[in-house]
Amino acid sequence: MTKRIYRGILLSSVITMLACLIFTIGIQYQMYDESTKDSLKDKAYIISLNSEIGDLSKYADAKERITLITSSGKVLFDNKAIADKMENHLSRKEVKGALDSGEGYAVRRSETLGSKSCYYALKLKNGNILRISDDSLTVWTVLINLLPAICAIAIMTLVLSSVLAAVISKKILKPLNSIDLENPDAQNVYDELIPFINKINMQNRKIDRQIARLTRSRREFDIITENMSEGLVLTDIKGNILTHNKGIEKFFGVGEDINGKNILTLNRS
């Protein structure tokens, strides 16, 4: 039972650890996505306040990708590519969002590179679209990067859980192992064990009544057989003597120690 409790506590600890880990990573990743979106949005608004918005050449070395697009989808400027060679962007989700509601946001993933690109588009007063994008890691890439730390945490958690599970399982079973079956009421046990203790008490009382009844019957039997003048012997199915009276001892001239012997030994004596 100790092993079952130990395994149960250990399994619960591992499942709880995994659930907390997944939940924490999920929440952090969600917050990271929101932070990336807000960062792109803030940078787009700062750039849009530039009075020389038509000249974005000074952002050529910017970390983020900055694109200026007309309302028809033609690319006027891109700091990471040659604008004249770029395809029409009117069908892009973030551009559509900006044309419809003033701003748009989209995420496009690259499974081969293990990354994703976040795009934020802002509609300017002159009708053009200012788009800023930046690369971000996918959740699987984040997990792979965090794998050494996750493994270290998992190992420490398993070791700690094993120790705690062993201590807790022994502590849980200690009241059970210390129960005096002859006098269970004298023990301090969990409330959940009270029905079990009551059942032991009932069983003990039942056994006591049966013993008293057998003792009384044996005493009555002894009184009757001792007052008999005839010899009386009781055997089991193998012929071994279970009990006898004084008449048998006198008749065969034997002592009181014949109980347990085979009755044939009396005939031979």
Residue 268 structural domain: 228-269
d(CA 89, CA 254): 121
- pLDDT score of 92: 92
- pLDDT score of 189: 61
Sign of CA dihedral 99, 101, 102, 107: negative
Domain termination site, one of 144, 162, 186: 144
CATH code (residue 6) = 3.30.450.20
Helix axes 2-48, 139-177, angle to 10 degrees: 150
Give me the chain's average pLDDT, please: 80
Q: Which residues contact 187 (CB under 8 A, 6 or more apart)?
A: 175, 178, 179, 180, 197
On whether residue 106 sits in a domain, the answer given is yes
On whether residue 169 sits in a domain, the answer given is no
On whether residue 200 sits in a domain, the answer given is no
Q: Are residues 107 and 233 in the same domain?
A: no
Check: CB of residue 268 under 8 Å from CB of residue 256: no
Domain count, the chain: 2
d(CA 48, CA 128): 11
On whether residue 215 sits in a domain, the answer given is no
- pLDDT score of 98: 94
d(CA 229, CA 200): 46
Q: Which pairs with CB-CB distance under 8 Å and at least 24 residues apart come from 227-233?
A: 233/263, 233/266
Strand partners, 120: 105, 132
On whether residue 48 sits in a domain, the answer given is yes
- pLDDT score of 268: 47
What would the pLDDT profile of 10-28 be if each residue is shown by its tens digit?
788 888 888 888 888 788 7
On whether residue 164 sits in a domain, the answer given is no
Domain termination site, one of 113, 144, 175: 144
Q: Are residues 9 and 116 in the same domain?
A: yes
On whether residue 168 sits in a domain, the answer given is no
> Residue 198 is encoded by which pair of tokens?
């009551």
d(CA 114, CA 143): 11
Q: Are residues 130 and 263 in the same domain?
A: no
Sign of CA dihedral 261, 262, 267, 268: negative
- H helices present in 134-233, as ranges: 139-177, 194-226
- pLDDT score of 103: 94
Q: Are residues 104 and 237 in the same domain?
A: no
Domain termination site, one of 144, 168, 202: 144
On whether residue 56 sits in a domain, the answer given is yes
- pLDDT digit of tens for each residue in the chain (269 aa)? 667 777 777 788 888 888 888 888 788 778 878 888 899 999 998 888 875 566 777 888 888 899 999 999 999 999 888 888 999 999 999 999 999 999 999 998 765 555 788 999 999 988 999 999 998 777 777 777 778 887 888 888 888 888 888 888 777 777 666 666 666 665 566 666 667 777 877 887 888 888 888 888 778 777 776 667 677 777 888 888 777 777 777 777 777 778 888 877 776 44
Beta-strand pair 103-110/65-69: unpaired
